A = this chain, B = another copy of it.
């Protein structure tokens, strides 16, 4: 057994919060992903569909910023969504570099059908928390990582 690094109280508390945060989000993410895969959809694909549904048409750069994935990845996720007929690429007449990604009827139908199911799965994941705890958790998470 190695001798371990002894941190300050602040370091110990931070590490504990970090580990618990990561573990919670990874567990939830893994379980939700498994359920999504029953619909043959990935987390990233769902994130794109949701952004388009709730926020309307956007270009790929904006979508990438929303789901925190690289530009190259977005190209592939969109390609796969196009293959399934859920979204389409349109030329942007005002900027020929950019494209406009929008939901197809098919995509809209899918998200309208699946979003309530997904939301239900999420509600189940958080069922151990009271409403007040939910708010506290949201507020704390919002504060985290704001340091520059």
Query: Contact string, A113-148, partner B, CB cutoff 8 A, digits 1/0?
Result: 001100100111111110101111110111111110
Interface residue? A90 (CB, 8 A): no
Q: Chain B's nearest CB lies how many Å from the CB of A144?
A: 5
With contact pairs A54-B4, A128-B146, A146-B128 given, residues A122 and B27 touching in the complex (Cβ less than 8 Å): no
Tell me what chain A mostly uses at the interface: helix, strand, loop, or mixed: helix
Number of interface residues of A (CB under 8 A): 59
Binding site for B on A (CB under 8 A): 1-2, 4-5, 7, 9-11, 13-18, 20-31, 53-54, 56, 68, 103, 108, 112, 115-116, 119, 122-129, 131, 133-138, 140-147
